[in-house]
Amino acid sequence: MRAGHRTITGTLVIATHNPGKLREMRELLARYRIDAVSAGELGLAEPEETGTSFAANARIKAQAAARAAGRPAFADDSGLAVAALNGEPGIHSARWAGVDKNFMRAMQQIENRLQERGARDPAQRRAHFVSALCVAWPDGHCEEFEGRIDGTLVWPPRGEKGFGYDPMFLPDGHARTFGEMTSDKKHGLPPRGQGLSHRARAFLKLAEACLVR
């Protein structure tokens, strides 16, 4: 833990109703002496994400959960930014999937737009994932961290692991998409994994600052 940061202790609320994110966050927290309960399990409402950045939306979710539960809360806001689409879908990544969370449709929408722009070569299909993490306490204190991973979009999507846009995202230096990677490979922390994903990279910063093993 670095000086100047607040330590996370006791029960932590994971401010998400997304089962994929919840699973990854619990796996990331598993090695630390932290009891975690989700916003969904507590019956907390999902706040409206009105921020204009990943960090702002993560803060909105964490602060809302911390106030409602009276406990520290941990939120992630993440998404896919496609260079040829001027950074879209970005903070609207989940919205592109619609209320039914149909990410196959969302991936098809991205592919259609890339094809309209003639983006067929890997160099024209660059993209990156961003994860902004925020831990908020009921008194208003926040700790914020961000991670990013760059890659290329493939078509058709490959693999059924992961969630969201994972099957079409091929991280730089790898032959498998996120959708083809095991949990340990995608977001496992050292020494078992490489802390590869955007969420793992942000979490490693958070852990160094705010968690005690």
Catalytic residue list? 77
Strand 169-171 vs strand 142-153: parallel, antiparallel, or unpaired?
antiparallel
Half-sphere exposure of residue 167: CA atoms within 13 angstroms, side-chain side? 17
DSSP state of 6: P
Tokens in use for 123?
Answer: 């160099």
The stretches of the chain forming alpha helices (DSSP H) are 19-29, 39-42, 54-69, 93-96, 103-116, 183-187, 198-210
Where do the DSSP E strands lie in 100-195? 126-136, 142-153, 169-171
CB 72 within 8 A of CB 137: yes
Output the six-digit token pair for 70: 């009276």
